[in-house]
Chains A and B, each alone.
Chain A
């Protein structure tokens, strides 16, 4: 089988343990103190990156690019960690952070960045990413990039891909009811929007990190800036959900009493 050409699209998002508070600025909604919130690589996209690296490792000569859009300073911060996980070449795009910019504009900027990758064989391209982000959570950016790149086979909610010697692959996509749909595609190019996959997060490897950082820092310095068009999207309101629950903490019931209460609760119509 030929070496693989894998491009992973991944955004950066606030660490999920952070408290988020929306604010409205001159450019529309955003998060309070967004630039100082600790950030991580988008979780589902990170799964895509690890799966891509595992595939590339199995096929000598394969190439792996990570295309990421965000403010350069935040990208650099996140890459200090991500770079220690797996080997890749970063293609950064300097642009706004957050889930509120329009997905169509984000897709256009990322597609343009992929088109500009020197040496990328688009006919052999496997375009990876998360099936949804943890910020906008729309699940459309990767699909729009694929459409812009003219890729006619797309798969979302992917948990597994099995490559065959002839270049074809079997792919498992999540569908309703806790099942996977099984498809066989004749081969690249294809888009795969990953769910969690099956791999654990790789351990940090300082040697991989040092090798990656040699190319990451120059790439960040040369990153092109993307201004994202709103595409007529406007926000009527952005708010935190109201805290509605008054929690009753029950410390003094026996297991029998709790069980009886739970069974009665389960039987009641809500």
Chain B
């Protein structure tokens, strides 16, 4: 018989579970209900008692690793914590969020306890056996997989489940605490760094993804490049709309090749084959050809629109819902005017 352990971790405050962790709790609960399997929840946090309050009623058994050492997202301490939780729970299926913190350690944890792991899971099904859905070749091929080996670790992509929202309670952390023998810690997390000064342009919770392509820095009909104007239009739109900014690789790469660049763009903004695959309800592409290496990053964008001067660009070939054949400079200036009025 299967048993399910959901591993969760706290956010930067150290005392509240991340939204992504709560999504994993939902997935674990659903799977446990379908299989009739017992559910356990494991927590890694600086203050596990406070973090546990959000999931106190989600499962019959809570386990936690807490303390100052677990305030930092660091391989050695997080791997030791998750290993201890897994050994204590003895679960056959381990569900965890595909967060940067857990993605860094969970394969090592699976290896340590003799398990197997699959990541970037977008759905977990179960009929006779547990089946997981994931993408291959950068979201170009979808597969459903299963394994007989146990324990089986499944890392869930964010946005695939609703975050668990249950009645809060008071967890008695002494009753759920698991002791961890830490190895010598050779790494210290010293902080966080935003990639550029000024406005944060990557907003994972935004409804709209706005993608800027290399066309913004190319010569315009007057024979000149207008990078400064492009930057103002894009930043103005981001401020007014609250959208998240993505970019094609070619535009970001221009910075390394000495060409005119938009100063607020970094590789972190890159969407596509060698970039991110964000999840947003809507996406608007501008000055971008919509070729396959770029569009694979749009797999989880709901409604897609594009503005392009090229009526034969990739977006027009079944990759966008609506393509406007127009000059993005002119259109976005008008969009900004309308947003300012409203």
Contact = CB atoms under 8 A, between A and B. Distances in A.
A247 B108 contact: no
Interface string A98-123: 01101110000000000000000000
Contacts of B274: 43-44, 47, 134, 196
Contact of B323 (A137, A237, A247): A247
19 contacts: A103-B117, A136-B136, A137-B120, A143-B107, A152-B186, A153-B187, A156-B104, A180-B195, A183-B189, A184-B188, A200-B253, A235-B145, A239-B141, A245-B320, A251-B311, A255-B330, A256-B334, A258-B331, A263-B339
A247 B321 contact: yes
Interface stretch (B73-81, B160-168, B169-177, B221-229): B73-81
Contacts of B311: 249, 251
Contacts of A14: 137
Nearest to B147: A232
Interface stretch (A3-11, A67-75, A169-177): A169-177
A260 interface: yes
Interface string B243-284: 000000000010011000000000111100111000001101
A103 B293 CA distance: 24
A98 to B, nearest CB: 9
Contacts of A175: 73, 100-101, 192
B119 A140 contact: yes
A199 interface: yes
B57 interface: no
Interface residues of B, number: 104
A182 B190 contact: yes
B157 to A, nearest CB: 11
A182 B315 contact: no
Contacts, number: 271
B30 interface: no
Given A185-B187, A238-B143, A253-B324, A232 B204 contact: no
Interface of B: 20, 73-76, 99-101, 103-108, 111-112, 116-120, 131, 135-149, 183-184, 186-195, 200-204, 207-208, 241, 253, 256-257, 267-270, 273-275, 281-282, 284, 291-293, 296, 299, 302-305, 307, 311, 315-327, 330-335, 337-339, 342
B5 to A, nearest CB: 18
User: What band does the interface of chain A fall in when counting residues whose beta carbon is under 8 Å from B?
Assistant: 35 or more
Nearest to B107: A140
